Structure 1
């Protein structure tokens, strides 16, 4: 069995996916809030 070396794993792909997820969630929240504001103003 190979020896485990702490901090030796390449995590670039994980970091890119995390940043993509954060960007997606940020835009999702912005769109949802815009829809809610639109409904609050025009659906009365």
Structure 2
């Protein structure tokens, strides 16, 4: 039976953690601004479409 004691992704060559973290930071920034934009649109709709 195969030995599963070592996790492959922690020892794999070529893992680019700085690029991964930069991508995640970009995603968080996009999600934050996107949420703020949707809230602004809903508020403006509530004001002007009543």
**Shared fold per TM-score greater than 0.5:** yes
Which residue pairs with 1:34 in the alignment?
40
Q: How many residues align?
A: 40
TM, length-normalised to structure 1: 0.78
2: CA distance, partners of 1:14 / 1:31: 26
For the aligned residues, what is the CA RMSD? 1.8
TM, length-normalised to structure 2: 0.69
Unaligned 5+ residue runs, structure 1?
none
2: CA distance, partners of 1:17 / 1:42: 37
